[in-house]
Every structure is written in structure tokens, then in C-alpha cells.
Amino acid sequence: MKDKKRILRTKKMKIIHYLLKVIASGEYKKNQIMPSEHFLMQKFDVSRITAINAYQQLEGMNAIYTIDKLGRYVSENFSGLAKSYSSLIDYKYSTMEKIDINDEIKWMKDYGVIFGDKINYYKKQYYNDKNEVIMVADHYVSEEYEIPLLENETFSIWEYLLKKTDAIKKIAYKLTNEKIENPWNLEFVPIVYAWSYNELGKKIASRYVVHPSYFVFSHEEKNVY
């Protein structure tokens, strides 16, 4: 009996991970209908109740919502997936340049963010619809990942790595309010530090310096087991 429950639990988790993956990849977009129970039953060789249980757990995570007699849909405000910090900022466009780097990055040393290989440095500025700078960011990326130089005005290095590579498995954040040089000549400004790693070590680390009027932060964790 215990083995049977373990097998059912494993099959349910496979379905959940599959559905989270297709949401994260953008294959299923916000408010788009999700695969049917019948599709999941065939794909994973499970009973209808197992497919339903998987969907119920996703609904408990706020990843989906149900419309009676129509189906299940991707939630509008699901925040349980990894995303770039810039996706939270209401900016119009950004600029980016790649800069040679030779010096040690003090904040990374202070926070124990150590790369196992060489890094490339990208500097970005984010603007509002009045062409005013509202955020600046320093991105340090393992040189094993080739970053295209600004494919469009809303291009995100983090989103690119999330969708195109295996660089980001876990993300750590640190929020501070610091005295630091900034475009607005303010004494203190909010700063978001973020770094990520996979099984082989750190792959990207970023520092976002944000104008206080535009600062926002949202974080949520969910247990899928």
C-alpha cells in the first residue's frame, strides 16, 4: 500500500512539474486554458483522480484558476516562478552596454558571491516614459553564457537566461538602503542584490539601484510537496 501511494505521489509531482514548466516557458500564457485532464491521463499514464489532484495542488499555489464547465486557466498574478527583478519595475525601455572588468567586485566578496569561472559585465539603465532614469543595474554573468546585446528595448538578461539556459535554478536576494553614487544625487537609495546558481555554482549576480519612487519588491515561496 505504501509503495502504491509513493508511486501515485511521484506521478502527481511529475504532472505538477510539467505544468509549472510549460507556464514558466510561456508556452501557456496568462489566462490561457491549460491541458485537459484527458491529455494528462494519456501523457503520464495516470488515472483521472491523479490528474485532478495535480491541478488542485496547482490551484492551491495560485498558479491556475478554474472556470466551471470550461476548464483551468493560467493565473494572472501567479508569483511562484523565478523571474527577473526588472519585471516588477514599471519602466518603458532600457539600454545596455558590455564593459571590460578587471577589479574585484566588493559587494560580491562581502556577500560570498563567488564565481567558479570568469565573468562578463553588463551595465543597464532603465527609463520611464519621460526618458528619466529610474533604475540602474550591474549584471555579472559567467562567460560560458553569451548574452546578446539588447535584442529589444525591454530585453532582460535574467529572462534570457531563464528561458534559454540552465543557469538559474535558485535565486537569492538581499535588500538594503545605502549611501551610494546614484543618478539622482540622493543620500540613500534602495538596492536589490540578486544572484543565482545551478548545480555547478554561481552563474549570474546583479545589483539594482532603484529610485525610491519606483522601488517595489515581491517575494513568495510555495511548498509543492
- Residue 195: closest CA among 161, 223, 218: 161
Looking at per-residue confidence, does 144 or 136 come out higher? 136
Stretch 105-112: mean pLDDT, rounded? 91
Count other Cβ atoms within 10 Å, centred on residue 192: 22
Q: What pLDDT does residue 97 have?
A: 93
* 210 found inside a domain: yes
Q: How confident is the model at residue 170 (pLDDT cuts 50, 70, 90)?
A: confident
pLDDT in tens, 53-62: 999 888 877 7
Residues 206 and 176 both lie in one domain: yes
Residues 101 and 69 both lie in one domain: no
Q: Hey, what's the cell of 21? A: 514548466
- Domain extent for 24: 2-74
- Residue 63: closest CA among 46, 49, 81: 81
Phi and psi at residue 24, in whole multiples of 5°?
Answer: -65, -35
Q: Report how many domains make up the chain.
A: 2
Count other Cβ atoms within 10 Å, centred on residue 75: 18
Q: How confident is the model at residue 218 (pLDDT cuts 50, 70, 90)?
A: low
- Note the Cα 150 to chain centre separation in Å: 18
Task: Report yes or no: 28 and 18 within 8 Å, Cβ to Cβ.
Answer: no
Stretch 160-171: mean pLDDT, rounded? 82
Residues 42 and 98 both lie in one domain: no
Tell me: pLDDT of 96 over 90: yes
At 209, which helix (H) or strand (E)?
Answer: strand 201-210
Residues 166 and 139 both lie in one domain: yes
Backbone CA torsion sign across 51, 53, 56, 57: negative
Residues 12 and 46 both lie in one domain: yes
pLDDT in tens, 33-85: 999 999 999 999 999 999 999 998 888 777 888 998 899 998 876 655 667 88
Stretch 10-16: mean pLDDT, rounded? 84
